[in-house]
Amino acid sequence: MTQTKKYDFRVVAEGATWTGQITRRQTARKIVVSKAKKGFETEAQAQAWGETELKSFLENLIKRNERKAKAREERNEAAEAKELAADAWRSARPSKNSGYDFDEDNLDYESDSEG
């Protein structure tokens, strides 16, 4: 299996102008354009734009992933604390059957026979 970059850039000629595109490999066979800019006069200008824009695009992506990871960690810690509190509450609570004499085999209830 070949290793390819998930994000890359490419330069496409459109008539007399050039277009720079930031691309993302969505599947093994499908590549989508994440960002594009048209109207460059030369291929070198489009190439330079692609390189700088890809760099800033990846930096923003890394920052975004770090923010989401931090939020996920906080969310998981809060859920864990909530579950621990619920477990403590359940264990401190008296059991449902305390004080009741219930026999599953005997379905004759005294309150039903008195009435």
Residue 27: give the domain boundaries. 7-87
Q: Has residue 109 been placed in a domain? A: no
| pTM, 2 dp | 0.63
Distance of CA 54 to CAs 39, 49, 58, 82, Å?
18, 8, 6, 42
* Total domain count, the chain: 1
Strand, coil or helix: 35: strand
Q: Has residue 60 been placed in a domain? A: yes
Per-position pLDDT tens, the chain of length 115: 556 689 999 999 999 999 999 999 999 899 999 999 999 999 999 999 999 999 999 999 999 999 999 999 999 999 999 999 999 998 888 776 555 565 666 666 666 555 5
Any idea what DSSP says for residue 108? -
Q: Has residue 50 been placed in a domain? A: yes
Q: Where do the H-state alpha helices sit in the chain?
A: 43-92, 110-114
Q: Has residue 102 been placed in a domain? A: no
Q: Has residue 110 been placed in a domain? A: no
Plot region of 64 (φ>0 → left; ψ -120 to 50 → alpha; else → beta)? alpha
